[in-house]
Structure 1
Amino acid sequence: MLVFAKIKSIQEYLKSLKKGTSIGFVPTMGALHKGHLSLIEQAKKENDVVVVSIFVNPTQFDKKEDLINYPKTIDQDLALLKKIKCDFVFTPTAKEIYSNNVKSQQFNFDGLEYQMEGKFREGHFDGVGTIVKRFFEIIAPTNAYFGEKDFQQLQIIRKMVQKTHLPIKVIGCAIYRETDGLAMSSRNSRLTKEHRKAAPFIYKILKQVKNKFGIKNALEITKWVENEFKKQPLLKLEYFEIANEETLQPIKNKDFKQNYRAFIAVFADKIRLIDNISL
């Protein structure tokens, strides 16, 4: 496994690979878990070589304390990547990526950015678009892999690739869950014992939403979800929404030719957890 911290070094090495070598790319912010490893395993199966980036991107945090508190476990991450025989790791500094201008580019994602997360995290998706576009330009991957836990982010990256005409296939990978159903996230490690015990309730509710979707309307389901969370003293619902998978617009009238997904964001004390399920 080769580790690069400089843009020039990784670009030179990737350019030296045999012509036609397919490159799979998995961007991460470190604090790696089995969810990340499942993306890397898929990338390994579908490409000649795999590049994993570890970079806690400052421009996608709307709250400074979230950036400060984000878990940083670089030594463990590198040991884990070595164990699963990752080919290349890119670990740049913020200065390497942004020079002295740590600022987001402005994007138009055709309205995808104003739904769900966009309503609660100002500037977040400009930050995501900025760093992913930058990495795509540096690595020039054939395929890039993203987890469906951040489904809105996945759709936004697909839109960015389409609008900037980058020759990269963006692949969404199924949500990797703990045995009790909680979606794997680097933030889970920051949950207290009590909140960790309560958190699987989120997925339990989503599974019930999936069952109700065929027989009840979206408004009834939303009211039911809100009432269920009122009974949970350790979990605070930030939003629940049923939306069109492609446009992310909230459902108005159910159209069985369309694909829908339920999205949820919940606070377990100060730790914000998100999840979703295909309906």
Structure 2
Amino acid sequence: MVHLSLRGTPLPCGDGPLEAVLFDKDGTMSHSEPMLEALAQARVFHCLALAGQAEGDPERLSDLGALLRRAYGLSAEGIHPAGTMAVGSRDQNLVATGTALAQVGFGWPEALAMAEAVFARTDGLHGQGSEQRPAPTPGLRPLLEALRQAGVRCAVISNDHVEGIEAFLAAHDLAAYVQAIWSAEHQPRKPDPAAIHGLCEELGVAAQSCALVGDANSDLRMARAAGVPVVLGYRAGWRRPVALDGSFLQLDHWQELAVVQGPANRWE
């Protein structure tokens, strides 16, 4: 019977074997922070440029820059692990950009059109057309290989679009390890617990036979609400410390997690 072990302590998956592991992408499977930081900075730059053409008030532009950085979770310490760039979908970031523009005096139709123009200018930094490819987090591939050898299915559940998820997997030859994807284009999207059930249906497994690993409290609470028995917080994907709910088990390196075949006794 297959199960996971965290730092030598077995993590039994209910009364049966572990059948699937569901992974978040950004900040969990992929070290996305450098790309997301560059994308956020580019959006701020182009937004200020377009706003400056329409509204030359220096004070308003200064306010807009500060609003955008807060909205994106962008600071000198890096990307906020729970900010919109880290956990939000593209359309959620688009609305956040439009809202910042509206807060400095642009009408909503104009603000939204300007936000869409900014994203059109910067979309090449992310997704299928991007030349930047976030690296997998250290130690991920050996874990995926161990899961494959044990017959455990793997899936990605992310608020990135299918294009971005598939581009990351293809760039690092990880696609063969992943049997299903649940993206921002699927309905409902995470953190709705029904997203877990939709993904499990695609995998052909029950949520009660799965584990989930994510770097955001919203991911972990979603999995718990969906009935996933093994829910793990991953903390090593960002420069800033990830503040996770202490009621969940947590890890800082994939080497802390082992795939074990045999009874899930309390001590191994």
Which TM-score bucket, shorter chain as reference?
Answer: under 0.3
Question: Which structure would you say has the larger RCO, counting Cα contacts within 8 Å and 6 or more residues apart?
Answer: 2
TM-score w.r.t. the length of structure 2 is: 0.23
